[in-house]
């Protein structure tokens, strides 16, 4: 499948089997919900991947704050991790109880194969869109 963006008409053309199918952005977004990841979900997945064995909610929250310069709320990270786990993009396991945590166990997160595929797909989609921007367009800005 090949996608083309027609900015003047605010349309995206998908060519499948040499048959163009036109979509407005609204149609496209409504069809994509649930199948793609949002920006913050992508950032959480990327951070979990970067932290590897140390990917638990507080570490993910701290790393996101450090890397993005944004104020990131722990409750939001928990909600996103829960949603990603429901989607099958991450899996979690409980670590050992420690005295420093008052006997509580950390929940560690790891990307699944589907989570890795979602990140690769998101990167590929972004790269394709960036590649579609003519270099002349940037000179006018």
pTM over 0.75: no
pLDDT tens, position by position, 32-51:
445 579 999 999 999 999 99
**How many other β-carbons are positioned within 10 Å of the β-carbon of residue 39?**
8
Architecture (CATH level 2) of domain 39-115:
Orthogonal Bundle (1.10)
| Residue 129 in tokens | 């869109």
SS3 102: coil
Q: Which of 39, 71, 75 is nearest to 57 (CA)?
A: 75
Residue ranges covered by each domain of the chain: 1-36, 39-115
Tell me how far apart the alpha carbons of residues 76 and 64 are, in angstroms, rounded to a whole number.
12
pLDDT tens, position by position, 54-91:
999 999 999 999 999 999 999 999 999 999 999 999 99
């Amino acid at each position: 499948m090949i996608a083309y963006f027609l900015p003047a008409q605010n349309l995206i053309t998908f060519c499948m089997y040499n048959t163009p199918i036109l979509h407005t952005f609204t149609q496209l977004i409504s069809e994509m919900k649930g199948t793609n990841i949002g920006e913050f979900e992508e950032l959480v997945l990327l951070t979990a991947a970067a932290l590897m064995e140390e990917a638990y909610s507080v570490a993910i929250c701290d790393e996101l704050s450090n890397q993005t310069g944004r104020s990131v709320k722990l409750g939001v990270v928990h909600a996103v991790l829960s949603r990603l786990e429901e989607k099958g993009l991450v899996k979690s396991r409980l670590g050992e109880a420690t005295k420093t945590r008052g006997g509580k166990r950390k929940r560690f997160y790891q990307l699944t194969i589907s989570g890795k595929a979602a990140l690769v797909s998101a990167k590929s989609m972004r790269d394709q869109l960036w590649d579609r921007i003519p270099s002349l367009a940037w000179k006018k800005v």
